[in-house]
Amino acid sequence: MHGLVVKTTGNLYTVRGDDGVSVCCKAKGNFRLRGIRSTNPVAVGDRVTFTPPTDPTTPEGYITEIDDRTNYIVRKASNLSKQSHILAANIDLVLLLVTIARPDTSTTFIDRFLASAEAYGVPVHIAFNKTDELTPPELDLLGQLEATYTHIGYPCTRISALTGQGLHTLAPTLQAKTTLLAGHSGVGKSTLLNALIPSAHARTAHISAAHGTGMHTTTYSQLFELPQGGCLIDIPGIKGFGTFNLEPEEVTHYFPDLFQLSHDCRFSNCTHTHEPGCAVLQALGQGSLPLSRYNSYLSILNDKEEGKYRAAY
């Protein structure tokens, strides 16, 4: 039988068959995913071949094969630096939910996520949540980030999942697409999911007053159908984003603004760190390239040298 993986919990997978019937399955054997060693061989969004349970004493079926993926989003596994963790597969869009404060989403985290999405061919729409709670200085910062990412080419939307502000502008963006909903814990993913899909009944929690950080309220990945067509894949909040399989000489390609500037560098193999005639360093000195974007680029270059998960991002 053939179907779509709609939920993952540990080593159990819910597969919705093409006949509309959902079956709980385990993965059979070892899956090799294009040479990538992954902590989760099957992800939400995968199209799979499976065998339903035949023995009443073993209620689970078995996934026997995974279809070729059109794309996926992957990060470095937090506990095994040489392995990856696939967030979702076969997606049309990432809705990256970020907050300016309570909690704040670092530009390094945003840029690392964007670079990985570029590497795996997935468009990203940035939604700034909790904009109804921002102070004037925080609104100024929001405007700066909007200008930065819009200029690069990433669409941005201001919303408040709690009050409903701006949600109507997201509807056309999400319609008829499979969208991954991603962001830090505490940025309001569950609240947004409930606002867009009331039947989801996602659990929400308050931000820690002591640390200004969110708590994990989603502990598994699940696909939800949108009322207007399309679907959202909800995943647990991401604390850090370690990049995976990004070679140093390729990193510039995943920063569209740096890549555009690099055409004017004196040397074709410029690393944009010290070379004379570097157009990226010149733009940085002139203030036309934000320092935050350059620092994010450097942080990914350092990943290869350090060989470890960047939990601080």
The CATH number of the structural domain formed by 72-234 is: 3.40.50.300
Residues 6+ apart with CB under 8 A from 25: 12, 13, 14, 15, 50, 60, 61, 62, 63
Name the superfamily (CATH) of residues 2-66: Nucleic acid-binding proteins (2.40.50.140)
Residues 6+ apart with CB under 8 A from 248: 271, 301, 304
221 burial level (CB within 10 Å; 0-12, 13-18, 19+): buried
Residue 100's CB is within 10 A of a number of other CB atoms, namely: 21
Report the alpha-carbon distance of residue 144 to residue 126 in Å, rounded: 14
Whether residue 226 is predicted with pLDDT greater than 50 in this model: the reply is yes
Report the alpha-carbon distance of residue 36 to residue 186 in Å, rounded: 30
The CATH number of the structural domain formed by 248-306 is: 1.10.40.50
Of 184-188, 214-218, 223-227, 289-293, the one with minimum mean pLDDT is 214-218
Whether residue 309 is predicted with pLDDT greater than 80 in this model: the reply is no
Residue 226's CB is within 10 A of a number of other CB atoms, namely: 17
Closest listed residue to residue 93, CA positions, set 188, 6, 174: 174
Would 2-66 and 248-306 be classified into the same CATH topology?
A: no
Report the alpha-carbon distance of residue 75 to residue 95 in Å, rounded: 16
Looking at residue 93, what is its pLDDT? 98
Residues 6+ apart with CB under 8 A from 111: 255, 292, 293, 296, 297
pLDDT tens-digit readout, 142-177: 999 999 999 999 999 999 999 999 999 998 999 999
Looking at residue 202, what is its pLDDT? 74
pLDDT tens-digit readout, 260-308: 999 999 999 999 999 999 999 999 999 999 999 999 999 999 876 544 4
pLDDT tens-digit readout, 171-211: 899 999 999 999 998 999 999 999 999 988 776 655 444 34
Q: Domains of the chain: which residue ranges?
A: 2-66, 72-234, 248-306
Segment 235-250 mean pLDDT: 76
69 burial level (CB within 10 Å; 0-12, 13-18, 19+): middle
